[in-house]
Amino acid sequence: MNTVTCDNCGRDVPAGTQDTCPDNGWSFDPRRFGYYGGFDDNFAELLEDVAEVTMCHECVVSLIEAFPAFKKHVTRGGHPSINWNGEQPCTETKPCCNYCWGWSAEDRDDGKSTINTYVVNDAGEWELVRTHIQ
Ligand SMILES: [Zn+2]
Ligand SMILES: [Zn+2]
């Protein structure tokens, strides 16, 4: 399993979806914050081609919860309830955070499946938002 290191907490975390991006975390170029007066005058990365900040799931959740400016952009259902290496950070009764989504499938007698999609409600619990037959 490929891993990347969180620039904030230093933990190695799974990177199964893309080689340099943490599963259910953030990977972004801080130079995109930049403009005249945008705190980027002395970014060391400006002298190089590569600039990237990697943040694991837990650090992203801490950032979102600490600053409403981020929270207004990350709403319910922001990331899937699995890591792409097969880990299940959520359980049937407890979501990993308030921003994940999950699903379940039930086989039907007619050979089709009922697919249920869930997000986390204000009480921090799974809430069914969509059911369809596939
Ligand atoms: Zn972290
Ligand atoms: Zn989460």
H helix and E strand count, the chain: 2, 8
Residue 44's pLDDT is 65
Whole-angstrom Cα distance, residue 28 to residue 100? 20
Instruction: Give per-residue pLDDT as tens, 1-53.
Output: 799 999 999 999 999 888 889 999 999 887 777 788 877 777 665 666 667 89
State whether 81 and 93 are in the same domain. Answer: yes
How many other CB atoms are found less than 10 A from the CB of residue 49? 5
Task: Identify the nearest ligand to the CA of 8 by its number.
Answer: 1
Instruction: Give per-residue pLDDT as tens, 46-95.
Output: 666 667 899 999 999 999 999 999 889 888 899 988 765 566 778 888 89
State whether 94 and 65 are in the same domain. Answer: no
For residues 103 and 39, the model is more confident at 103
State whether 93 and 120 are in the same domain. Answer: yes
Work out how many domains the chain is built from and give that number: 2
CA 65 remoteness from chain centre: 14
End position of a domain, from candidates 41, 74, 107: 74
For residue 59, the enclosing domain spans 1-74
State whether 56 and 4 are in the same domain. Answer: yes
State whether 60 and 105 are in the same domain. Answer: no
Token look-up 């992203």 returns 60
Measured in Å, residue 31 CA sits from the centre of ligand 1 at 20
Q: Are 54 and 26 in contact (CB under 8 A)?
A: yes
Measured in Å, residue 125 CA sits from the centre of ligand 1 at 24
End position of a domain, from candidates 29, 58, 74: 74
